[in-house]
Structure 1
């Protein structure tokens, strides 16, 4: 990503939050046959505060296409993002922008055993089903669930480095930021409640998670 020091997201805790709240990720591999990209849900694992580890799965034969386990991959996590109209700026400012929260995570995947993969799939379903009024679970028909699971390959990505951005109008005066948030929360074109919430969270908290001095961070 473009090196913009005042948009760097350097706090590991904040990067983990972005992953946790935006679990649909893009997996990119530079293989012997070229660049390969796939899209899968990821689950953030519990662990030390200064480490980032995620588990996921791919459908066969994506593990072959990505040459998983043999080289470093890039995992892209995209948080809230959206168009910012110059009509929300003072008169005379005509240049729009796009606010976003994005994290690039690197590491070499570890291939999980069949049993570990099934546990990940089970946890994934439980994670998303917990919001439903009548949650479904793989445990309701374990035989069928295990048959389907054989068509997937589980992986763990222990992140060795990351590069993250939270571009949330930090370069604008407070009154302009307020106007942008207000516009994002209307029912007008380009309304974006999720992005407005991210901006309120950052600007309202006086967070120091974004700033110069280590956005291209690492995690052991």
Structure 2
């Protein structure tokens, strides 16, 4: 991802928030057979306060990706969406696409079966917590044999990135009043491109600009 200093995202707290809020990620590896990609839910490592992530892949994706043997690129995709030139005013303009994204690169460490089980347990708990009647990993009708068999079909990993490129392109190059118009259109506008999540990210970036003045 080409970086632009005006859009660079470097604050670790903000990056952790982005990762936590957007756990569905793309894992990319360069192999002898070319580029390969897989898609999995990934979480921050709860024992660390940096950008270390943990997750799992289903076998044989570990072999396809060369997990633990070669560099892995993890793409974190935050809110994104179309920005109409009509939202800029009456002057000459073209549309653009606003987005928040981060690329985490490093060689992952493979987890032991017990570590992988803890990650799988966390993943289920994370996403089941919002359900009216959560079905957690270790609760009936799941039994130990079922869960153990499930774990054996996966490979857990931990990745502490050695390279991070993150970008928050949210119309920071536009006057505040224009950004406010775009936020209003995204938040509650009548267009098919309304997206409150992207509006919230833009508001967050605008508030940061105002504080920095």
Q: Is the counterpart of residue 56 in structure 1 residue 48 in structure 2?
A: no
Q: 1:200 aligns with which of 199, 203, 207?
A: 203
Q: Is the counterpart of residue 144 in structure 1 residue 143 in structure 2?
A: no
SS in 2 for 1:139: coil
Corresponding position of 2:113:
114
Which fold has the larger relative contact order, with Cα–Cα distance below 8 Å and residues 6 or more apart in sequence? 1
SS in 2 for 1:138: coil
Residues 64-79 of structure 1 correspond to what in structure 2 (within 5 A)?
A: 64-79=63-78
Q: Distance in 1 between matches of 2:54 and 2:164?
A: 16
Gapped regions of structure 1 (runs ≥ 5): 210-220
Q: Distance in 2 between matches of 1:11 and 1:47?
A: 19
What's the CA shift string for 1:80-113, capped at 9, x where partnerless?
A: 0000000101212331110000000011011111
In the superposition, the TM-score normalised over structure 1's length comes to 0.90
Corresponding position of 1:216:
none
SS in 2 for 1:9: coil
Any runs of at least 4 consecutive aligned residues in structure 1 with deviations exceeding 4 A, and if so which? none
Q: Distance in 1 between matches of 2:211 and 2:97?
A: 22
Aligned length: 208
Gapped regions of structure 2 (runs ≥ 5): none
Corresponding position of 1:8:
8
The 8 Å contact of residues 3 and 165 in structure 2, kept in 1 or not, is answered as no
Alpha-carbon deviation of 1:196? 0.3
Q: Distance in 1 between matches of 2:18 and 2:87?
A: 26
